[in-house]
Amino acid sequence: MEIVILEEKTVSQGDISLDCFEKLGTLRRYPLTPQDKVVEYIGDAEAAICNKTVFTREIMAKCPKLRYIGLCATGYNNIDLDAANEFGITVCNVPEYSKRAVAQQVFSYVLHFASRTADYNNDVHDGGWIRSDTFSYFSIPTFELAGLTMGIIGFGSIGSTSARIANAFGMNVIAATRTPKSAENVEFTSIEQVFKRSDFISIHCPLTDATRELVNLDRLRLCKPSAYIINTARGPVVNEKDLAYALNNDIIAGAGVDVVSTEPMLADNPLLGAKNCIITPHVAWAPLQTRERLVKIAFENLSGFINGRPQNTVN
């Protein structure tokens, strides 16, 4: 089998190896693949390993030997699944590999806003403690998480993992999900109630037509002025202009985002200038151990397909 890796740099920047795929066939690999080079780089390959490369019907039609698309990701909104079915192409993703890492990132934002550790560190290094006339000064407000409400939108593996962490901090957890669920110490309710009642709102739903711009000004106006929005899902789930407006006009207190509508981020993204908005460059999924797990499962997915036992198929 001829295999092509289209975006090696998005999974490893020299710190982990993807050599395992050489065991399964003849391997070609590219650090990155411009969208206008996808057909050329795939060539006669029967299997393509990708991350964010967009696979349209037109691309699949021009790659007649392609039989497998292996995602190094959980989301698959970049793949035209109807076209893949039409052309007999199996598509596999890697579910749940990053649930602990992403939930950890969620609470890095939560703790940033609650404990202000980085802000106090900066103040101390600027001489604040040296100038203090008391052993402890608390000029930067902080607050406890216990008793506050964590609202979760989307209750898959990441959402449920985030809920358990919130419970461990003594938070009340409410959640909205498209399919009926039950979980210990979690109250399931509507999206509107999540916006109205939560102190922190964490987004964990996939990007679909129904969830695009789910976070918009109308819903942000439902929030407490002390509420915080956290998005580690997909950028277009949030209307960024509306979120920036809500931050700059004190409709909500702050936001932590790991994803934006266009990545890499554009210089004119309105969140760059927004008040109290923490932005990280889509790294919640990227701890070393998490990516090692990702590669292992992506390898097992392709191996299973070759052996007639496909796993983690999404079409």
What one-character-per-residue DSSP string does the chain give? -EEEES-GGGT-SSSS--GGGGGGSEEEE-S---GGGHHHHHTT-SEEEESS--B-HHHHHT-TT--EEEESSS--TTB-HHHHHHTT-EEE---STTHHHHHHHHHHHHHHHHH-HHHHHHHHHTTHHHH-SSS----S-----TT-EEEEE--SHHHHHHHHHHHHTT-EEEEE-SS----TTEEE--HHHHHHH-SEEEE-PPP-TTTTT-B-HHHHTTS-TT-EEEE-S-GGGB-HHHHHHHHHTTSSSEEEES--SSSSPPTT-GGGGSTTEEE--S-TT--HHHHHHHHHHHHHHHHHHHTT---SB--
Q: Residue 57 domain-assigned?
A: yes
Would you give per-residue pLDDT tens digits along the chain (315 residues)?
Answer: 999 999 999 999 999 999 999 999 999 999 999 999 999 999 999 999 999 999 999 999 999 999 999 999 998 989 999 999 999 999 999 999 999 999 999 999 999 999 999 999 999 999 999 999 999 999 999 999 999 999 999 999 999 999 999 999 999 999 999 988 899 999 999 999 999 999 999 999 999 999 999 999 999 999 999 999 999 999 999 999 999 999 999 999 999 999 999 999 999 999 999 999 999 999 999 999 999 999 999 999 999 999 999 999 999
Residues 58, 162 share a domain: no
What is the per-residue pLDDT for 180? Answer: 82
- Whether 204 sits among the annotated catalytic residues: the reply is no
Residues 195, 110 share a domain: yes
CATH number at residue 135: 3.40.50.720
Residues 110, 89 share a domain: no
Residues 202, 163 share a domain: yes
Catalytic residue among 219, 234, 240, 291, which? 234
Residues 157, 273 share a domain: yes
Q: Residue 315 domain-assigned?
A: no
Residues 151, 182 share a domain: yes
Residues 76, 151 share a domain: no
What is the per-residue pLDDT for 6? Answer: 98
- As for how many domains the chain has, the answer is 2
Residues 139, 14 share a domain: no
- Whether 309 sits among the annotated catalytic residues: the reply is no
Catalytic residue among 100, 197, 219, 282, which? 282
Q: Which domain holds residue 184?
A: 99-279
Q: Residue 60 domain-assigned?
A: yes
- Global confidence as pTM: 0.92
Residues 115, 84 share a domain: no
Catalytic residue among 22, 58, 192, 263, which? 263
Residues 172, 256 share a domain: yes
What is the per-residue pLDDT for 181? Answer: 87
Residues 194, 86 share a domain: no
Q: Residue 64 domain-assigned?
A: yes
Residues 188, 230 share a domain: yes
- Whether 2 sits among the annotated catalytic residues: the reply is no
Q: Residue 313 domain-assigned?
A: no
Q: Residue 311 domain-assigned?
A: no
